[in-house]
Amino acid sequence: MVDLKKDVKYIKGVGPNRAELLNKLGIFTLQDLITYYPRAYEDRSKPKTLFECIDGEETLIEVVATSRIVETRFGKKTMQKLMISDETANAEAVWFNQTYLKSKFSIGKKYRMYGKIDKKYRKIQILSPVFDEYGYTQNTGRIVPLYPLTYNLSQNILRKIMENAIEEVYGNLSETLPEYILKKYSLPSINKATKTIHFPEELQDFQIARNRLVFEELLMTQLALLKLKYHDMHQIKGITFSNKHKISEIIKIFPFKLTNAQMRVLQEIENDMESPKMMNRLLQGDVGSGKTAVAMCSAYKAVKSGYQAVIMAPTAILATQHLENFKKMLSSLDINCELLISGITKKKKEEILQKLKNGEIDILIGTHAVLEDNVEFKNLGLVVTDEQHRFGVRQRSKITKKGQNPDVLVMTATPIPRTLALILYGDLDISIIDELPPNRKKIETFAVTKRMQERIDNFIRKQINEGRQAYIVCPLVEEGEDNNLKSVIELAEKYQKEIFPEYCVTYLHGKMKPKEKDDIMLKFKNHEIDILISTTVIEVGVDVPNSNIMVIEDAQRFGLAQLHQLRGRVGRGEYQSYCILKYEGNSENIRKRMKVMCDTNDGFIISEKDLELRGSGDFFGTMQHGLPEFKIANLFEDMPILKKAQIVAQEIMNKDPDLKLLENKLLQRVVNQKLERLGTGTL
Ligand code: ADP
Ligand code: MG
């Protein structure tokens, strides 16, 4: 057997210098190397005659040299020209600055060349071709892999190294999937698949190899997630909350009637809470679907059963807003809520920590500040995290450690296509609020270019004169917080001085002190501010029903899911609301994305489209899910394989939940490795 942990520098053709370059690509071991998969292939195996060649196409030709190389010099540059021919035509092969080629060709000898064809009038050229003497297949005559990012390694060198590596491992790799799965799904062996993915003999072979590797990767992930879930459900005993205090008690005092979806979800939560198993539930609901009310009901039940609850939100603004809502509803019921964010005074903080420890505080609402080590509860029974996608897996587990297996409810407004929810949150049960409170008006969305600026400004003016308020979101600045800040301030100045001098314009950004942010939000809520210019800090959760306009500058820079979140800040009251997407550029993709936003308000449709238009890499990147990174699988393209892997994983777990059977031994090892890594926050 080969040692896959072997340092790449010992692979034939590598050595210390190239090893350093490989390290930059994340390749440290033989294993890393052979799982560095090609991003594409070039078929250099099917020759065409010069007559058949098409202008502009990369083509393989088989030709005889009919001259020596002629070199011309112009300035510092040189050009090498070789006359070639086959039985159908004459042509020229042309290179630039390749002086060493001079002695490479002999008149009358046959060569294979692969390169771009330039065919104008009667003249045929092949530009900077790679070549082999006829009969050799180093650069031509086969399908060659193209690798992603090679830094200072050329494709040729990396390919050669890969050839050596594959030669070393081929036939010696131990199988990673059980025999019965290979048979049942007619999958190629690991040896065959590994060789073929790098060096397919026919282009369609690679697909078979790739499918196996993708299937394997997704299967292992699914198994790990299911195992985690199974473990949670069956091993961890949680709190059994009292069935004397029903959630229905608090529902009566709400100023509105809960939607059917909210009621259904609350029933699911209540069942979980009353059962001895530990609740681990994801609540998904589009922006404005009323998740806060659900969190409040759950916290009520926990407190009435004699436990404390913690609500964690990603921003101070949101935490403060939650506190206000909770206080409004719960203080009359003698439930004590407190706020813990990093901005509060030391004295206040100490007081809170003290009260928390001796149980005087029933519900703690806060930001990441609640994760700090000195935050101790008397008896934490329920953990709610709002806008889950802003927190990592690790933070989720840190907060639960502050209690004795408290029930966990995580909430997110980022709609995730169902199949992917399993990948992202396979360890959680899922509840979905698929209904908005009644009488919500569709937010009218317009995508506009700079030309419309004045009309938009007039439109905003008209709405504000009618008593409404507006949000304006700044362009996303990539070069970090400081530039972000600059762009907010500049934009606010422009709006205040040049466009809307008659109104109160203020700005908000992530670097402000929490107290400052809260003051501004409070003023906005009380309508002391007409127009709020902001970075995406207002993206999540903020609720000001009187504001009905959301303007997003440079909307093309945002992902659809994020635009949807931002748009969700309006349309929360009785007024018709508007979202104006200012965009630049007219690529088809940009226009398509803007159209999706104008066409629908449905977060699920938007997230599917987002995935389709951007591919899964970006989708997850911007959503900061702490998601597993896949070596070969692409969650969008490989959706059918993902579905299959999900079914197979479920079958295996039903039969052998601990993967103890001999036939599953191979799976057990890999799955356990994955679970170990999960402990550190990745999968
Ligand atoms: P999100 O799910 O985005 O967190 P919120 O919980 O902030 O949504 O609720 C959005 C708004 O809808 C709030 O003003 C809330 O009071 C209101 N709301 C929630 N549930 C209902 C309901 N069943 N009927 C009417 N209004 C509701
Ligand atoms: Mg919310």
Look-up of token digits 């409810």: 409
Mean of pLDDT values over 433-462: 91
pLDDT band at 211 (very low <50, low <70, confident <90, very high): very high
Taking the C-alpha atoms of residue 276 and residue 407, their distance in angstroms, rounded to an integer, is: 10
- Residue 419: pLDDT band by 50, 70, 90 thresholds? low
Which ligand places an atom closest to the C-alpha of 256? 1
Instruction: Report how far ligand 1's centroid is from the alpha carbon of 543 (Å).
Output: 9
**CA 37/CA 269 separation, integer angstroms:** 44
Q: Which ligand is nearest to the CA of 572?
A: 1
Q: Which of 386, 538, 543, 577 to mutate to test the pocket of ligand 1 (most atoms within 8 A of CB)?
A: 543
448 CA distance to ligand 2 centroid (A)? Answer: 28
CA 646/CA 263 separation, integer angstroms = 30
Burial degree of 114 (CB within 10 A; 0-12, 13-18, 19+): buried
For atom 1 of ligand 1, the residue with the nearest CA is 288
CB 492 within 8 A of CB 506: yes
What is the number of the ligand closest to the CA of 439? 1
Task: Find the 294 Cα to ligand 1 centroid distance in Å.
Answer: 9
pLDDT at 467 over 50: yes
Name the closest-CA residue to atom 9, ligand 1: 290
- Reference 387, options 364, 420, 409; nearest CA is 409
**Whole-number Å distance between alpha carbons of 190 and 172:** 10
Separation of 289 CA from ligand 1 center, angstroms? Answer: 6
433 CA closest ligand 1 atom index: 2
Instruction: Evaluate if residue 590 carries a pLDDT over 80.
Output: yes
Please say if the pLDDT value at position 620 is more than 50: no
**pTM across the whole model:** 0.66
**Residues having CB within 6 Å of any atom of ligand 1:** 256, 258-259, 262, 285, 287-293, 413, 437, 541, 543, 572
The token pair at 42 is: 């070039």
Residue from 254, 256, 286 to probe ligand 1 pocket by mutation (most atoms less than 8 Å from CB):
256
Nearest-atom number in ligand 1 for the CA of 293 is 6
Q: Which of 238-252, 477-491, 597-611, 642-656 has the lowest mean pLDDT?
A: 477-491
Q: Which ligand is nearest to the CA of 386?
A: 2
Q: Are strands 505-508 and 444-448 parallel, antiparallel or unpaired?
A: unpaired
* pLDDT tens-digit readout, 268-301: 999 999 998 889 898 988 888 899 999 999 999 9
Nearest protein CA to atom 18 of ligand 1, as residue: 290
Closest ligand (CA of 435): 1
Burial class (CB in 10 A: 0-12, 13-18, 19+), 616: buried
Domains and CATH numbers, the chain: 1-40+154-171 (1.10.150.20), 46-141 (2.40.50.140), 241-275+290-412 (3.40.50.300), 444-600 (3.40.50.300)
Q: Is the pLDDT of residue 666 over 80?
A: yes
Residue 539 has pLDDT above 70, yes or no: no
When pLDDT is averaged across residues 308-335 and rounded to a whole number, the result is 91
Q: What is the CA radius of gyration of the chain?
A: 31
**Inter-residue contact 155 to 84 (CB < 8 Å):** no
Closest CA to ligand 1's atom 4: 291
> Cα(551)–Cα(449) distance, rounded to whole angstroms?
12
- Biggest alpha carbon–alpha carbon distance for the chain: 99
Are the CB atoms for 224 and 675 separated by under 8 Å?
yes
Ligand 1 atom closest to Cα of 386?
Answer: 4
**Nearest alpha carbon, ligand 1 atom 11:** 288
Closest ligand to 313 CA? 2
Cα 39 to Cα 37: distance, rounded to the nearest angstrom? 6
Residue bearing the CA closest to ligand 1, atom 17: 290
Compute the distance from residue 543 Cα to the ligand 2 centre, in Å. 8
Within 8-142, residue ranges assigned H as helices are: 15-24, 30-34
What pLDDT score was predicted for residue 560?
86
Residue 141 Cα to ligand 2 midpoint, Å, equals 59
296-320, pLDDT tens digit by residue? Answer: 999 999 999 999 999 999 888 889 8
Spatial contact of 343 and 515, defined as CB atoms under 8 Å apart: yes
State the closest ligand 1 atom to the C-alpha of 258, by its place in the atom list counted from 1: 23
The larger pLDDT score, comparing residue 388 to residue 580, is at 580
Residue 233: the pLDDT is 55
**Which is the closest atom of ligand 1 to the Cα of 291?**
2
Ligand 1 atom closest to 439 (CA): 25
Distance 320 CA to ligand 1 centre (A): 16
* Residue nearest (by alpha carbon) to ligand 1 atom 20: 290
Average pLDDT of span 175-197: 95
Rounded Cα gap, residues 402 and 137, in angstroms: 63
Q: Which of 19-28, 262-271, 505-514 has the lowest mean pLDDT?
A: 505-514
Q: Residue 288: nearest ligand to its CA?
A: 1
Q: Which ligand is nearest to the CA of 255?
A: 1
- Average pLDDT on 82-99 reads 95
- Mean pLDDT for 465-469 is 96
Exposed, middle or buried, 100 (CB in 10 Å: 0-12/13-18/19+)?
exposed
Report the nearest-CA residue for atom 13 of ligand 1.
Answer: 290
- Alpha carbon of 203 to ligand 2 centroid (Å): 49
**For a pocket test of ligand 1, which of 292, 384, 388 has the largest count of ligand atoms closer than 8 A to its C-beta?**
292
Minimum mean pLDDT range among 23-32, 64-73, 162-171, 637-646: 637-646
Q: What was the pLDDT predicted at 440?
A: 80
Under 8 Å CB-to-CB from 172, ≥6 apart: which residues?
Answer: 1, 2, 191
Q: Once rounded to an integer, what is the mean pLDDT over residues 651-663?
A: 90
Indicate whether 184 pLDDT > 90.
Answer: yes
CA nearest ligand 1 atom 5, residue? 290
Distance CA 200, CA 206 (A): 5
CA 592 to centroid of ligand 1, rounded, Å = 30
Look up residue 226 and give its two tokens.
């299911």
Q: Quick check: 61 and 53 in contact, CB under 8 A? A: yes
pLDDT in tens, 106-128: 999 999 999 999 998 789 999 99
Split at pLDDT 50, 70, 90, the class of 361 is very high
Torsions phi, psi for 280 (to 5 deg): -140, 80
Is the pLDDT at 153 greater than 60, yes or no?
A: yes
Q: Whose alpha carbon is nearest atom 15 of ligand 1?
A: 290
Tokens standing for 119?
């065919």
Ligand 1 mutation target, pool 260, 289, 312, 326, most atoms within 8 A of CB: 289
Are 554 and 525 in contact by the 8 Å Cβ rule? The answer is: no
How far, in Å, is the centroid of ligand 2 from the Cα of 188? 48
Strands 143-146 and 40-43: antiparallel
101-109's contacts with Cβ under 8 Å and 24+ in sequence apart are 101/69, 102/68, 102/69, 102/71, 104/69, 105/65, 105/68, 105/69, 106/65, 107/65, 107/66, 107/67, 107/68, 108/64, 108/65, 108/66, 109/64, 109/65, 109/133, 109/134
β-pair type (308-312, 143-146): unpaired
**387 CA to middle of ligand 2, Å?**
7
**96-101 contacts at long range (C-beta below 8 A, 24 or more positions apart):** 96/128, 98/128, 99/71, 101/69
